[in-house]
Chains A and B, each alone.
Chain A
Amino acid sequence: MGIMKATTTFKISAKAKKIVLVGNPNVGKSVFFNALTDRYVEVSNFPGTTVDISHSPLGSDVLIDTPGIYGVSSFNDEEKVAREMILQADVVIDIVDALHLERDLFLTQQLIDMEIPMVVALNMMDEARRQGVEIDVPALENYLGVPVIPTVAIEGKGIEELKKTLDKARIGHKVPEIAAILALVKDFFPTTGESLLYLEEDPLIEVPGSLLRLQRKQGEPGSPGLKMQLRSLSQIQRNQEEIYLKRRLWVNEIIKKVIKEGTEGATFAARLGHLLLRPFPGIPALLLSLLFMYYFVGVLIAQILVEFTEGVVMESYYSPLMENIIGRIFPPGTAIGYILAGEYGILTMTVVYVFGLLMPLVAGFYFVLSIMEDSGYLPRVATLTDRILVKMGLNGRAIIPIILGLGCVTMATITTRILGSGRERIIATALLGIAIPCSAQLGVIFGMVAPLGLSYLVLYLSIMGLIFIGLGIIIRPIDKFIPGKSTDLLIDLPPMRLPQLKNVLKKTYTRTLHFLKEALPLFALGALLISLLNISGSLHAIQNLMSPLVHGWMKLPETASTAFIMGIVRRDFGAAGLYSLPMSPQQTLVSLVAITLFVPCIASILVILKERGLKDGLLIWIGSLVIAFLAGGILANIII
């Protein structure tokens, strides 16, 4: 895990105040961020994580956004990053959802206990009023000890007032019992925040030398002053649960005194939220959403938009232009000329593939995902799919990388970092690498299955589904070889609401950019490797090695092995390579099943190796090879 010093990374002067935006997920933090800054926003990646931090100048200071968190701790990457920024903050703006005060105030109180000067923005006040929830704002200010500004961020209400109140940010009233324990350790740590986290058993807090030395002195004879220090030391117990409980009870008391709830009206959103969870409208709704997503990305984008970006812009203009330019510097026959602008050229094929084909598809997927997130639907999808995913050693949250995997396995593998344990990450990566066809392939695959008729389509889907679930179930007995345990689903189901287009577009943009930054070098590296393999003749040799398996065992035309090799470079080439071969319907089915299961493209392999390490990565790679040929061959011998 990297460390990030805000002043050096964000290139701000040491005098600039670091104003950090904090809040639970889904409270509308990004709306605040956008509303508060009018200058250029920069995004920095926190080293060692997928987490990006947006920051922008605010007057002579800097405004820093953090990922949504439920508490300051180290349970996952988002928390670790937010924690790091919070500890370096000069001022914190805590965004709180007026409809979820019970939950959100836990974080607020924790920040107060850390003795950070802060201001609270009580957001969505309009929604609260509409639902009959009345909050006594002055009383809340009194109890917390910090300024509380009611806001409706999407409409810009309260933002100016918030800006003006930043000067009045102050340290609030700590939970009395926690303040007492803190007093005993405060002096050992550079900030109160760190001393609180130390008491809360945060594994990443370094025990300061002075405290260690004192602890070592226990049992030694010493001065009365030392004895007193040691006595207080013995009273200090690191106990996260105790502190959490004390804080929780304190916040519960505040809530009781500050909120007056009218009758809870069952709004349309609430009813929709419930309906979508029940198996009856829930599962058909899920299938419909998936169908819509497939149509939107697979047809509208994949076929229509990509026709333009890849077909027209890239292949008609960019490629020939690039080939021309490179051709003048490095003549076509040379190795460098081939590597840069040849068949698998880094400057030709890689650029065309990533920008012409993948980028629109990935953006499309992220667009749909962001809508599902902002509308509150995504956690419900995770809840509906939890049951099946648990059987595979995962939980509902894994549905996110799986859905993304249908877009691009490379992108999805990076997302597996959100899963709770190493074990789940390996299982999810294996599933992605073996059983999930990416959008690059899907279009061609469906193009080949459709003409065969509905029964073949159903057959293909059933076989893939069976293998997908079967893979997960087989992993169960191999349980002992995968270390660690799987985590359970415990997620918040936010109220359903209409997503804001501006927010959705911004998320799509940020995530697509992140994908390009992470994936482009990998695709380039992959192209380089393939070019080298081809130049050395190894590619041909591998093809010849595969032929007996492809022809004899899977009963496909010999030339099909070329398609499989092509699939390593670009998965759509793999499927397309099969397209032109003369094959019977049964052969087509066998070849499609095999190529779907076959190793993912070289960029994915590189990500898998990078994310999961050499041993596990190789295992997944070899596993997909074996399973692809096994399944393909067995199927061939049954139906051909």
Chain B
Amino acid sequence: MTLEQAKVGERLIVREIIDPEMRMKAIRFGVMKGAEVTCTEKLPYGPVIISKGRQELAVGRRLARRIIVEPRT
């Protein structure tokens, strides 16, 4: 599923980021294939907030549609 479809509080594993330049910027933040993140907030029709360890990132809705994730147990 895409990051956009994740539920608030859900723990996720990142599978893919379909956008070459964004992929680079995300890698720097530690968000890449195999990274474990948590969806902490979703603004209605707005950005998705994810947290990774102590870090929090705001991801624009359209970019969130291009990040493929999987729930993690």
Residues of chain B within 8 A of A248, CB atoms compared: 27-28, 30, 32
A240 to B24 CA separation, bound complex (whole angstroms): 8
A278 to B59 CA separation, bound complex (whole angstroms): 15
Given contacts A241-B20, A245-B27, A490-B29, 7 further A-B contacts (CB under 8 A): A70-B29, A75-B25, A100-B55, A106-B28, A279-B43, A383-B43, A490-B59
Count A-B contacts at CB 8 Å.
108
A-B contact pairs, 14 of them (CB 8 A): A70-B29, A103-B29, A103-B30, A264-B54, A386-B46, A386-B58, A386-B61, A387-B61, A390-B61, A488-B59, A488-B63, A489-B59, A490-B57, A493-B58
Interface of chain B residues 34 through 54 with chain A (CB within 8 A): 40-41, 43-47, 49, 52-54
Whether the pair A386, B24 counts as a contact (CB closer than 8 A) is: no
In the complex, what's the smallest C-beta–C-beta distance from B3 to chain A, in angstroms? 12
In the complex, what's the smallest C-beta–C-beta distance from A24 to chain B, in angstroms? 9
Asked if B23 CB lies within 8 Å of chain A CBs, one says yes
Instruction: Name which residue of chain A comes closest to B55, CB basis.
Output: A103
Instruction: Name which residue of chain B comes closest to A283, CB basis.
Output: B43
Residues of chain A within 8 A of B53, CB atoms compared: 102
Q: Which residues of A approach B to under 8 Å, CB–CB?
A: 70-71, 73, 75, 99-100, 102-103, 106-107, 133, 240-241, 244-245, 248, 252, 264, 273-274, 277-279, 379, 382-384, 386-387, 390, 395-396, 488-493
Asked if B1 CB lies within 8 Å of chain A CBs, one says no
Residues of chain A within 8 A of B24, CB atoms compared: 73, 75, 240-241, 244
7 cross-chain pairs, A with B, having the tightest CB-CB distances, nearest first: A489-B60, A488-B63, A488-B60, A387-B46, A493-B56, A383-B58, A244-B27
Binary interface encoding of chain B residues 5-31 relative to chain A, with 1 for a CB under 8 A from any of its CBs, else 0: 000000000000001111111111110
Whether the pair A490, B32 counts as a contact (CB closer than 8 A) is: no
Q: Which residues of B approach A to under 8 Å, CB–CB?
A: 19-30, 32-33, 40-41, 43-47, 49, 52-63
Grouping DSSP codes into helix (H, G, I), strand (E, B) and loop, the A interface class, with mixed when no group exceeds half, is helix
A274 to B58 CA separation, bound complex (whole angstroms): 12
In the complex, what's the smallest C-beta–C-beta distance from A107 to chain B, in angstroms? 8
A278 to B41 CA separation, bound complex (whole angstroms): 8
The answer to whether A99 and B22 touch (CB under 8 A), given A278-B41, A384-B46, is no
Whether the pair B55, A102 counts as a contact (CB closer than 8 A) is: yes
The answer to whether A102 and B30 touch (CB under 8 A), given A244-B24, A386-B47, A488-B22, is yes
Residues of chain B within 8 A of A274, CB atoms compared: 40-41
Whether the pair B47, A489 counts as a contact (CB closer than 8 A) is: yes
Residues of chain A within 8 A of B49, CB atoms compared: 277, 383, 493
Q: Which of B22, B25, B52, B58 contacts A379 (CB 8 A)?
A: B58
A395 to B64 CA separation, bound complex (whole angstroms): 14
A390 to B46 CA separation, bound complex (whole angstroms): 9
Residues of chain B within 8 A of A71, CB atoms compared: 28
In the complex, what's the smallest C-beta–C-beta distance from B37 to chain A, in angstroms? 12
